[in-house]
Each structure stands twice: as structure tokens, then as C-alpha cells.
């Protein structure tokens, strides 16, 4: 992931309010100011997307490979008691949007390493707006990746068997869950010392999280009792089951509200920690 250069368009709120070099000017308060600054920061990142289309391309190719490989290589040997394509695709969707959150940490680490975070912290903008804008822009890119995956999934036979409304609700649930994980990645990006470390730290824990779940197999088919327990209590399993039930038109039970609670709790906790870390972050 290549973040925009420190010479890219700066937040407009800072244009006339910056003090002498190295000085820190108090940001104007209020929700409106924070939202405006967040939007300025989000658009700064989104303007970089057309200049680096290969980033979006490669971010899309990996989940497509997961869809095709798991569906055609393992589909005939995995017993889920029904159509494996309908079972698999919601799990791949969930994994893709969660993996997409890693770009938040990588981008923040790159801005930090280049000294751009120091520059932003000296400007009269909302301290949280920098992180909110980053997470918002990465959500937009996640949506674009998801739409491409959805098209490929329909080509190989996946359908919204529960209807369009439930399909849209399932999609919103997955994207909301991925947004909450962007705040975990933001904290990681602010805590490590290099882009390479952010890349490793951002992905390494997500592999056991997503594979030790119901994304690709049913937990009851796992060989170990403790693995089954871990998979069943995994928040990723809960959101995957909720999306799978909504897409498939089957009973959702408590999974939808549990997924929402998890997403809100993760967002609240890690946004607080990330913003606090941002206030003390400095280039390495």
C-alpha cells in the first residue's frame, strides 16, 4: 500500500490557521468541524486511488482467488450439508472485508514514517478526524472490492436466496464489522516502527481469526473439541453466520444483534485507544 505523499492536498481547514513551523495550534471544536475535517482527510486519500489503480486491482485479485480456489478445489470434499458455494461465499466476503481493514494500519504507518502525522498534529484540525478520514476512505475502497467480488460470486452461482433486502442487510453488517476492525489496524499502524511491521502485524493475527471460524467449514466438523469451542465463540464466526443466514434466507437467531454489539464495542474501544495514541505519536 502506498499512501499519498506529504505534499498531497492538505486539509482545507488548516490553510489559514497554521502557526509558525513546529507550533501546535488548537483545533476549532464542535461536531461540524470534526466532520468537515474528517471528510477533507477522507477525500485526500480517495483522490490517490485513481493515481494508483494497481493497489485496488491487487486488493481485489486475492479474494477472487480465494473464491475460485476454495469453491472448485475444496468444494467437492467439504461436507456442509448443502450447496458449498452458498455456504462458502459469505465466509469469503467476511474474510475479504476484514482483511481489507489492514490497509488502514499500513497507510497510517507510512504517513507516520514519512513524518506526515507530525505535520497533521501541528495543524488546527480535529485530532480524531485524521483517523476517521482514513477509516472512511478505506471503507469506500472496501466497498469497491466487495462489489467486484459480488459480481464474480454471482457468475459461479451464488444468489441472494433470502431476497434483496436481507442481502443488503448482510452486506451492511459485514462492512460495519470491517470498519470496526479498521480501528484495531489504526492502533497497530500508530504503534509499530515501520510500514513492513504494520503489514506483518496487521495480517498475522487475522489468519487464525478467519480460518478458525465457520467461514470455510462448520465448527462441528473440526477434529478438536477446543478448536470447536474457539470457533463457536469467535466474533468472526458470529458475523459470518449472521451474513450467511441473511443471504440464504434461513433463521438468523441472535447472530445479527450479537454482530452489531461486537462491531460497536470494538469501534468504541479501539477508536478511543487509537485517538489517544495519535495525540502522542511521532515519526520514528
Can you tell me which residue has the cell 477509516?
A: 135
The pLDDT value given to residue 210: 92
C-alpha cell at 133: 478520514
Mean pLDDT score, 64-78: 80
The span from the CA of 162 to the CA of 127, in Å, is 42
| pLDDT tens per residue, range 31-51 | 777 777 777 777 877 777 667
- With left for phi above 0 and alpha for psi between -120 and 50, is residue 192 left, alpha or beta? beta
Residue 168 sits at the vertex; the CA angle it makes with 271 and 163, to the nearest 5 degrees, is 155
Can you tell me which residue has the cell 490497509?
A: 103
Cβ atoms 140, 43 nearer than 8 A: no
| pLDDT tens per residue, range 218-261 | 998 888 899 999 999 999 999 999 999 999 999 999 999 999 99
Residue 22 above 50 pLDDT? no
Q: 64 pLDDT band (50/70/90 cuts)? A: confident
Residue 33 burial (CB < 10 Å; 0-12/13-18/19+)? Answer: middle
Length of the chain: 284
Cβ atoms 246, 162 nearer than 8 A: yes
Residue 182 above 90 pLDDT? yes
Q: What percent of the chain has pLDDT over 90?
A: 41
The pLDDT value given to residue 112: 85
Top-confidence residue, 234 or 115: 234
Cβ atoms 114, 106 nearer than 8 A: no
User: Which alpha helices (H) appear in the chain, and where do they start and end?
Assistant: 31-46, 53-69, 84-100, 102-113, 116-121, 127-155, 164-191, 195-204, 206-211, 225-233, 235-248, 255-280
Q: 87 pLDDT band (50/70/90 cuts)? A: very high
The pLDDT value given to residue 281: 65
C-alpha cell at 180: 470496526
Can you tell me which residue has the cell 489468519?
A: 207
Cβ atoms 64, 149 nearer than 8 A: yes
Amino acid at each position: 500500500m502506498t499512501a499519498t505523499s506529504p505534499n498531497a492536498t492538505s486539509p482545507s481547514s488548516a490553510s489559514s490557521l497554521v502557526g509558525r513551523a513546529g507550533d501546535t495550534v488548537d483545533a476549532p471544536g464542535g461536531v461540524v468541524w470534526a466532520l468537515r475535517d474528517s471528510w477533507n482527510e477522507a477525500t485526500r486519500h480517495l483522490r490517490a486511488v485513481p493515481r494508483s489503480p494497481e493497489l485496488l486491482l491487487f486488493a481485489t485479485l486475492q479474494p477472487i482467488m480465494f473464491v475460485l480456489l476454495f469453491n472448485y478445489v475444496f468444494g467437492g470434499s467439504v461436507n456442509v450439508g448443502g450447496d458449498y458455494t452458498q455456504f462458502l461465499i459469505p465466509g469469503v466476503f467476511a474474510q475479504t472485508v476484514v482483511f481489507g481493514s489492514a490497509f488502514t494500519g499500513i497507510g497510517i504507518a507510512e504517513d507516520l514514517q514519512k513524518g506526515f502525522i507530525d505535520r497533521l498534529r501541528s495543524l488546527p484540525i480535529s485530532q480524531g478526524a485524521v483517523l476517521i478520514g482514513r477509516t472512511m476512505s478505506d471503507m469506500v475502497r472496501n466497498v469497491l472490492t466487495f462489489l467486484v467480488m459480488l459480481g464474480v460470486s454471482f457468475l459461479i452461482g451464488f444468489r441472494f436466496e433470502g431476497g434483496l433486502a436481507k442481502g443488503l442487510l448482510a452486506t451492511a453488517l459485514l462492512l460495519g464489522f470491517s470498519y470496526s476492525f479498521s480501528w484495531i489496524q489504526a492502533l497497530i499502524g500508530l504503534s509499530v516502527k515501520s510500514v513492513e511491521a504494520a503489514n506483518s502485524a496487521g495480517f498475522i493475527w487475522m489468519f487464525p481469526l478467519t480460518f478458525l471460524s465457520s467461514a470455510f467449514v462448520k465448527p462441528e466438523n473440526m477434529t478438536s473439541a477446543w478448536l470447536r469451542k474457539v470457533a463457536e465463540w469467535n466474533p468472526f464466526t458470529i458475523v459470518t453466520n449472521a451474513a450467511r443466514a441473511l443471504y440464504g434466507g434461513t433463521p438468523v437467531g441472535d447472530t445479527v444483534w450479537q454482530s452489531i454489539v461486537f462491531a460497536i464495542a470494538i469501534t468504541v474501544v479501539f477508536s478511543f485507544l487509537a485517538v489517544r495514541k495519535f495525540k502522542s505519536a511521532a515519526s520514528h
